[in-house]
Structure 1
Amino acid sequence: MSFKFLLTSLVVVLLPGTGVIYTLAVGLGRGFRASIAAAAGCTLGILPAALACIAASGMLLNVLNPKLSLFFLAFLPQFIAPDAAHATASLVWLAAVFMAMTFVVFVVYGAFAASARDYVIRRPSVMKWIKRSFAGTLGFLEAKLATSN
């Protein structure tokens, strides 16, 4: 496993996407333990993208997170040499590392959200602002996806 893979994976995991927004929302709404469950669910949601990369099946692309699809279909194979003896095993290993990194980063996001929970819940104006921010972020991501090639 290369440093370039780890660095690229960390950048992709840290970029806010639907999983981060969901984990933050659960952490704010239900606390740290619930955010860990959300992080685990989001991490398991990586499996279809990883399997699509490993099995070269495009069937699931319509239900996948675009960020994950881009990473697993465009970037992940670049970290395996074309003449690698065990390419499939290497892809499985790299996908597992990516999933572990995702879980850790999402747990940190959840911990942050849970620690801010009391402050947010006691102030309805802050909660309103956060809901609008999440809605605006999702709207922006949808618009960006709709206008991308």
Structure 2
Amino acid sequence: MSIEFLLTSLVIVVTPGTGALYTVSAGLARGARASTVAAFGCTLGIVPHLVAAVTGLAALLNASAVAFQTLKYAGVGYLLYLAWATLRDRSALTVAEQDSAPRPALKVITTGVLINILNPKLTIFFFAFLPQFVPAGTPGAWLRMTELSGVFMLLTFVVFAAYGRFAAAFRDRVAARPAVTTGLRRIFGAAYAVLAGVLALEA
């Protein structure tokens, strides 16, 4: 495995996107455990893109404008839903809330999975990025692509979990200031909406 692959993957993963934003939001709202679960969900959401790239479905998606646009606008719609849900949330942000009525892990994971499944940029990334590190004619190329994808997923989980736990470390300070909590929700809601707009305007 080349150092170029590791460095490029790390740069891509560290660059904040919807998955990182969701993990940070989970860390601030529900603590370190929830942020780790959210990071796991976002990582699972990469699997369909991995499978598409390895099996060649990414080529079909890339060639079909209708398929790509459908996936893109589904992602836009989901990001707008997240923006709306975040802005309308009026629940208190307290440690007691985390202990007595935590959000079901399955729901946190499902949201994380959907965020990355509905991200067409991931499919394009795998289709355009992985082949550069698997020379044509390589025996067992699909196995090599799967191995590299696994490394990318591991980096994603570690970086996202670190983002979430860093956010969770400031949770108590945020919870003690209702105005800060409201401001953060507005920031996250606006960020989801902006990301939706950027995705919608991309060719």
Match runs of 1:54-93 below 5 Å: 54-58=54-58, 62=71, 63-93=117-147
Deviation at 1:15, TM superposition (A): 1.4
Distance between the aligned counterparts of 2:145 and 2:51, measured in 1? 9
Higher Rg of the two aligned structures: 2
Contact conserved, 1:27 with 1:110, CA < 8 A, in 2? yes
SS at match of 1:132: helix
Number of the residue aligned with 2:30? 30
Contact conserved, 1:9 with 1:98, CA < 8 A, in 2? yes
Give the 4+ runs in structure 1 shifted more than 6 A.
none
Number of the residue aligned with 1:141? 195
Q: For residue 37 of structure 1, what is the amino acid of its counterpart? A: V
Contact conserved, 1:27 with 1:114, CA < 8 A, in 2? yes
Contact conserved, 1:50 with 1:95, CA < 8 A, in 2? yes
Distance between the aligned counterparts of 2:6 and 2:36, measured in 1? 22
SS at match of 2:57: coil
Deviation at 1:66, TM superposition (A): 3.0
Identity %: 48
Number of the residue aligned with 2:92? none
Q: For residue 190 of structure 2, what is the amino acid of its counterpart? A: G
- TM-score w.r.t. the length of structure 2 is 0.69
Q: State the superposition RMSD in angstroms.
A: 1.6
Q: Mind listing any 5+ residue stretches in structure 2 that lack a counterpart?
A: 62-66, 72-116
SS at match of 1:83: coil
Distance between the aligned counterparts of 1:67 and 1:119, measured in 2? 35
User: In the comparison of the two structures, how many residue pairs are matched?
Assistant: 149
Deviation at 1:129, TM superposition (A): 1.7
Distance between the aligned counterparts of 2:123 and 2:187, measured in 1? 25
- TM-score w.r.t. the length of structure 1 is 0.93
| Cα deviations by residue, 1:62-98 (Å, 9 ceiling, x for unpaired) | 2531332232121122111012112101000001000
